[in-house]
Structure 1
Amino acid sequence: MYLLMLLALMVVLPIVSILIEQVSGTDASLLFLIGKWFVFWIVGVRLLLAGVRQVMQPSYTATKIFQIKDPEAEKLVTEIGFGNLAMGLVGVLTLLEPAWVVPAGLTGGLYLGLAGVKHAMNADRSRAENIAMATDFFGAAVIAVGVIARLA
């Protein structure tokens, strides 16, 4: 279920959004739409949902992703969740304030890239952490393309 949700948020929904906007007759370039919709879905919705889960159920991230059984770790996961909530909210609001796409993309993309590096450094990764690592790297790469396109 986790993998299906990530695939929907990071691939299917952004592509569907781009196609819908293109069919509707937009004047925007494809690269512009990639930046818009991938930032919205990956930085906005994905991080917002991750933040909600980390705040409401920190034990999931602690035990399933990081394999930490200590309940004290939940305090840190909750704080990570607050950061994800904040970045996610800004990412979602890019639909109302398009000028925020680049700052949201830079912030969220950098966060995803660094999180992916940290996951990669863990030789004892679980399956869930491998999925998180792969999707973090994918998200960072796609967001980088989108942000560069917006800046060009």
Structure 2
Amino acid sequence: MQIVVILVLMVAAPVAAIVIQGATTGGSLIALAGTWFVFFFGLRLLIAGFHQLAKPDFTAKTIFRITDPNAAKIVSELGFGNIAIGALGVLTLFNANWIVPAAIVMAIFYALAGGKHVMNAQRTASENWAMGSDVWAALVLAGWLVVVWMER
């Protein structure tokens, strides 16, 4: 299920939304990419955050391989951060002025999280998916920010 959610939120849904909105209402490809990648990458963080609050042991055991029950406290804190950053991304649909700031925050977060996963040579399969999606999001958002910056 984790793989399906990642693929849908990180690739299929944003690409579909860009294509559908581009075909129906038009608009700049760069603007559409920012709108939909920031929204769906934020939605992924929001869902992950709520999942970490509801089932902190899942993240502790399957991604970090920590079996200590006290790890739930730390995973819950991670969940709070994911919810906060994810909410910012989702709320950009209501205020387009937040897209660039949200993209900056998410690019930094995803890059740091992805980098931490990369440094772990003994990753689980779940951590590999988390790493791949984190690195993907960081690259997409950073690339988009560079294009936006160069257009100014």
TM exceeding 0.5: yes
SS in 2 for 1:95: coil
- Would the aligned equivalents of 1:116 and 1:136 in 2 still touch at CA under 8 Å? yes
Matched with 1:119 is: 117
Matched ranges for 1:1-150 at <5 A? 1-26=1-26, 28-42=27-41, 44-150=42-148
Count residues in correspondence.
Answer: 150
Distance across 1 between alignment mates of 2:130 and 2:12: 17
Q: RCO greater where, 1 or 2, for CA within 8 Å and sep 6 or more?
A: 1
Distance across 2 between alignment mates of 1:33 and 1:147: 13
| Structure-1-length-normalised TM-score | 0.95
Which ranges in structure 2 are unaligned for 5 or more consecutive residues? none
Q: CA RMSD in A?
A: 1.0
SS in 2 for 1:12: helix
Distance across 2 between alignment mates of 1:7 and 1:147: 22
Distance across 1 between alignment mates of 2:116 and 2:73: 19
- Would the aligned equivalents of 1:32 and 1:149 in 2 still touch at CA under 8 Å? no
Distance across 1 between alignment mates of 2:49 and 2:148: 26
Give the deviation of 1:25 after TM superposition: 2.5
1:42-93 superposed Cα distances (whole Å, 9 cap, x missing partner): 1x20000000001111111000000000011110000000000000111000
- Would the aligned equivalents of 1:35 and 1:149 in 2 still touch at CA under 8 Å? no
Give the percent of matched residue pairs that are identical in Structure 1 and Structure 2.
45
Distance across 1 between alignment mates of 2:146 and 2:31: 9
Q: Which runs of 4+ in 1 moved over 6 A?
A: none
Distance across 1 between alignment mates of 2:16 and 2:127: 27
